[in-house]
Structure 1
Amino acid sequence: MTGYSIGQLAARTGAKVVTIRYYEKIELLEAPRRSRGGHRLYDGQAITRLNFIRRSRKLGLSLEAIADLIRLAETPDSPCDNADRIAKSQLRDIRTRMRELRAMERALSRILEEPCGGRARDCGILGILSPEQTN
């Protein structure tokens, strides 16, 4: 039998072995055939699927959204409205997180503008973050 071992699959895709096993467990990646000795043997389709999953994760997509996209890809004649919905939702989430990050950046910049008295009891940062501080 020919095929890629789980270690070879990990090396070819940059995924960790534990991640590959997890993706199999949650059925994002099909369970591979087994060698006579019981070792997993992956085919080229597994590499393609794992690269798809990894690119999707880099875009911040949830595993649920990736599963939806995989199902869509497996039915090429179906409409791609669901793919558009997933992409638009992810873009909204990214934009929301970007606004939140900009707000955090402004807050931290303001905190750092406060002079520090040199001792923890006089530290503006600790004062602002203290549970007794109310805004």
Structure 2
Amino acid sequence: MPPTNNVLDEARQLVERRLADLDEERKRLERALAELGGKSSRRRPGRPRGSSKKAASGSTSTGSGAPRRRRKRRGGTRGDQAVKLIEAQPGISASDVAKNMKIKPNYLYRVLGDLEKEGRVKKDGRQYYPAGG
């Protein structure tokens, strides 16, 4: 009967070799996937969680170096739409503006903060008023 240590060492070496082979194969498959334009599921060193190699879809390259063209929003920007609503209904709350615009309130709060800094609207408590009025 062979010593137990020898059998365990051989088994450990066999598993380590197999893992090394599988690791090489995984790296090869990830490179192939990247060349085909797919996403690699592995984060690269120095990248925070949730980041990706590609930019946001609106600014990705078409291959010729020019950014993709984005469709112009009908009715102007979100800020312009919010100002029109506030002018039409002075004293309206941010959540009501968001409901009318069919967008989430947490996004609108950011837009309204920028509009307030620009001096286009004024906030009094929870109500928003046009800056001119």
**TM-score where L is the length of structure 2:** 0.27
**TM-score where L is the length of structure 1:** 0.27
Larger relative strand fraction: 2
